[in-house]
Amino acid sequence: MKMTKLKSENSKEKKDEEGKDTPSFQKNWWLVFLIILALTFWIRFHKVTEPDHVCWDETHFGKMGSWYINRTFFFDVHPPLGKMLIALSGYLTGYDGKFAFEKPGDKYEDVNYVGMRVFCTFLGACIVPFGFVTVWELTHSLSAAALSASLILFDVGLLTLNQYILLDPILLFFLTGSVMGVVKFQSCSDRSFSPQWWFWLIFTGTMLAGSISVKFVGLFVVLLVGIHIAAGLWEILGDLSKPITYTLKHFAARALCLIVLPAILYAIFFYIHLAVLKKSGTGDGFYSSAFQSQLEGNSLHNASMPQELAYGAIVTLKNQQTGGGYLHSHWHLYPEGVGARQQQITTYSHKDENNRWLVKKINDVQPPKSKDKKKEKVELVKNGDLVRLEHVPTKRNLHSHREPAPLSKRHLQVTGYGENGTGDANDVWKVMIVGGKENEVVHTVSSKLKFVHYLQHCALTSSGKQLPKWAYEQAEVSCNPNLRDENALWNVEDNVFSRLPNVSFQVYAPNFIKKFFESHAVMFQGNAGLKPKEGEVTSRPWQWPINYRGQFFSANTYRIYLLGNPIIWWGNLVFLALYIVTFVYCAIREQRGYAETPLQRENKFRTLNACGWLFLGWVLHYVPFWAMGRVLYFHHYFPALFFNSLLTGVILDYFLENLPAILPEKIANNLYHWFLGVIYSVIIYSFYLFSPLAYGMDGPMSHDPNSTMYGLKWMETWEF
C-alpha cells in the first residue's frame, strides 16, 4: 500500500515538473512576467517629474552631470560611470548643463531635468524583472519568482530611491544585472561554449564592470559572482569524464570575460572621464601639480609661471601626500585651550586667495622695495636657505613653537604670528630639497621640499586629520619632530614673480596610467576621510534592516521621505530567520537519514541552494558596513534589501508549496490560495498606505489628525 502511494506521488511530481515545459505553462509564465513588467513601469514612472525641485543628492549628481556637459573637472569619491551616464542622458534629452543644482529645494524653472530623472528611473525599474528572472532560474518556480518580484515592486523605499537623479538606481541596475547574468549563465551549463553561454558570460562581465564603475561597493557583487563561478568550476573539475584541459578551458573563458573584460571596460570608462573633463574646476586641488598642468584654465596649464623660485615671489605650497591640500590660513584664531591663541594654519583642498604666501629672506621684515623693480637683483631660493613665509592676506608669518598641535599631540602647533610681516625667530624655516645638492635652486612643481623649523628642528607637516568646526573642518597642519615624515613633503605650485620668464610645464604632464592610479589614490583617501561631521545625524547598520529611521529627500511643503515598506522589511527579517531555522532543520533530517522521494529531495535542494546564494548576497552587501569607519546612510542598505526580498519570496513559496505534506490535499489547496491572496493583499495595501512617502505629500505632519499619514507613524523615529 505504501509502495503504491509512493509511486503515485512520484508520478504526480514528475508530471508537475514536466508540465513546466508545456506551451500552456510557458504562456502563463509570459503572462505573469508581462503583468509584473507593466505594473513596474506604471508604479515607477508615476509622478516621476514631481516634485519639480532639487531633491536630496540630486544637488551633487545633477551638478556633476552639468560639469561633464561643460567639460569641467571635479573631484568625487566614486568612480565616474554613473555620473557620466547621468550627463549623457541629460545631454541627449536637451539639458544644457547650466543649472546650478545649488541646494535641495531649488526650483527647476525652465530646466530640462526630466530626461535625467526618466533615465535613472528606467534603470531602477529594471531591478524588478531582473529579480523575477533571477529567482526563476534559481528555483524554476513561477510563484516564487512572482512573490520575490512583488516584494521589490511594492517597496516604497526602492521606489523613492529609483525616481531621482542619483547613483543608486544606476548601481542597483548593474548589481542586479550581474546577479541575473550569472544565474542565466549557470543555467546554460549543459550547453558550454554555445553562443547563448558566451552571451550570458559576457553580459555578466559587462554588468560587473558597470557595478564597480559606479560605486566601489560594487566590489561586493564582484565577490558574490566570483564565489558562484568558483563553485561552478569546482563541479566541472569533479567531472571525471572530462580531461583536466576541459576545466582549464572553462577557467580561461571565465577569466577572460569576468576579469579581463571588466578591467578593460573599467579603464575605458576612466579614460573617457579624464578625456572629457579637460577644463579646470573645483576639484583641481585634490590632485598633484603635474596632474593639474593638463587642465585648461589651471594656472599650471601652458607655462604660466617661472620655473625657478625667487625671493619676493608669491607662491602656493601643495602637500605631496595623495589628495594633499594647500598650505592655508585665515583670520580666525585657534580657540581657547588649543595651544597659543594665534592665527590658524591648515591645509585646504580648494584654490583660493588664502593659500598665497610671500617668500622672504630671513632678515627681511618687508620685501625690498625699489622705484625701478627691473633693476632689483633677483635672488633665487636655494637648498638650505633660511626663509620666512608671510601669509599674503593677513600679513602674518608661518610660525611654530613649543605648544602641542590641536590633534597630533606629539607634534608642535603651527600658527600665523606677527603683524604686517614682523615676527620673531620662531618664524624662520630652512628650505630643504629632498635629494638636492648644495646650493641647488628650488624649482616650481618638480622640487620636493621640506620646511624644517630653525629653532624647534621639526618639519612642517600635514597630518591629514580633520579639524573641528572651529577650523571649518579643514586639515591639521603641525610641526613633526620626526623629519622623515612622508607627509612633510611639499612642492611650489603657483609661482608669481614678474621678473623671471615663464617656461613650459608640459614636461611634467603625467600619462593616462599615472593619472589613472593617482585618481584612485585620491578617491580612496577621500572615501576614508568621509567621517561623520560634528552634530550630523547619520545611521548605523543595526538600524537599517528594522527600518529604524528614514531620510528626508525633500523637506519643502511637498515632502518626500525615504522609508521602506514596514510590512515587507519586517517580513524580510522574519523569513531570514526562518530560512536559517529551515536550513538547520533540513540538515538534521538529512543527517538522520529521513526518507524522501527523489523529487522532494531535489526541490528541497534547489530551494535551499537558491536561498543559500541569496543569503550570501545579503551578507556580503550588509555585514561589511559594520566594519566601516566612514559616514554611513540608510540608502546603503538597499542592495542587501534586494537579496533579502528575493530570499523571502523563495522561502515563503517553499512553505506554501509544502502544505500538502502536512495537510489533506483539498484543505492544503484551499489554504494555499487563501494564504497567497492574503499575502498579496497585505503587500499591495501596505504599499497603498505608505506610497505618499514616495510620491509626495503635503499638509501637516503625521502626528496631526488632519495629516494624510495620520496613524501610520508606527515608530517614534519616523519623521514624516
Task: Give the H or E element holding residue 131.
Answer: helix 127-139
Residue pLDDT, tens place only, 628-686: 878 888 999 999 999 999 999 999 999 998 887 777 777 878 888 899 999 999 999 99
What confidence score (pLDDT) does residue 553 get? 86
Which residue type does 687 have? F
**pLDDT band for position 558 (50/70/90)?**
confident
- Inform me whether the pLDDT recorded for 9 exceeds 60: no
Q: Are 701 and 708 in contact (CB under 8 A)?
A: no
Lowest mean pLDDT among 107-121, 269-283, 553-567: 553-567
Rounded CA separation 116/92 (Å): 9
Give the residue with greater pLDDT, 531 vs 651. 651
Rounded CA separation 296/280 (Å): 6
- Inform me whether the pLDDT recorded for 348 exceeds 50: yes
What are the backbone angles phi and psi of residue 560, rounded to the nearest 5°? -120, 135
What confidence score (pLDDT) does residue 263 get? 97
Q: Coil, strand, or helix at residue 413?
A: strand
Taking residues 375-394, what's their average pLDDT?
A: 91
- Inform me whether the pLDDT recorded for 15 exceeds 50: no
Residue pLDDT, tens place only, 113-171: 999 999 999 999 999 999 999 999 999 999 999 999 999 999 999 999 999 999 999 99
Give the residue with greater pLDDT, 207 vs 521. 207
Q: Are 228 and 234 in contact (CB under 8 A)?
A: no
What confidence score (pLDDT) does residue 304 get? 73
Average pLDDT over all residues of the chain: 89
**pLDDT band for position 536 (50/70/90)?**
low
Rounded CA separation 233/231 (Å): 5
Taking residues 432-461, what's their average pLDDT?
A: 93
Taking residues 88-109, what's their average pLDDT?
A: 92
Give the residue with greater pLDDT, 342 vs 587. 342
What confidence score (pLDDT) does residue 56 get? 87
Residue 343, C-alpha cell as written in the block: 592665527
**pLDDT band for position 18 (50/70/90)?**
very low
Residue pLDDT, tens place only, 40-91: 999 999 999 999 899 988 999 999 999 999 999 999 999 999 999 999 999 9
Which residue type does 327 have? L
Residue 310 DSSP symbol: B
What confidence score (pLDDT) does residue 2 get? 34
**pLDDT band for position 445 (50/70/90)?**
confident
Percent of the chain with pLDDT over 90: 65
Q: Coil, strand, or helix at residue 108?
A: coil
Rounded CA separation 247/234 (Å): 9
Rounded CA separation 391/416 (Å): 8
Residue 636, C-alpha cell as written in the block: 546603503
Residue pLDDT, tens place only, 487-513: 999 999 889 998 888 887 776 778 899
Taking residues 225-247, what's their average pLDDT?
A: 92
CATH 2.80.10.50 fits 289-514, yes or no: yes
Q: Coil, strand, or helix at residue 303?
A: coil
Taking residues 360-366, what's their average pLDDT?
A: 75
- Inform me whether the pLDDT recorded for 532 exceeds 90: no
Q: What DSSP string runs through 133-201? A: HHHHHHH--HHHHHHHHHHHHT-HHHHHHHSSSSSHHHHHHHHHHHHHHHHHHHHTGGGTTSHHHHHHH
Which residue type does 606 have? R
Cα 279 to Cα 60, 296, 444: the distances in Å are 19, 5, 22
Residue 565, C-alpha cell as written in the block: 515598506
Rounded CA separation 210/176 (Å): 11
Lowest mean pLDDT among 179-183, 231-235, 243-247, 365-369: 365-369
Lowest mean pLDDT among 15-29, 63-77, 573-587: 15-29
Lowest mean pLDDT among 255-269, 369-383, 589-603: 369-383
- Inform me whether the pLDDT recorded for 448 exceeds 90: yes
Q: What DSSP string runs through 515-564? A: HHHHHHHHHHHHHHT-PPPTT-----GGGTTTT---EEEEESSSEEEE--
What confidence score (pLDDT) does residue 301 get? 80
Rounded CA separation 266/81 (Å): 9
**pLDDT band for position 537 (50/70/90)?**
low
Rounded CA separation 717/434 (Å): 56
Question: How many residues appear in the chain?
Answer: 720
What confidence score (pLDDT) does residue 613 get? 95
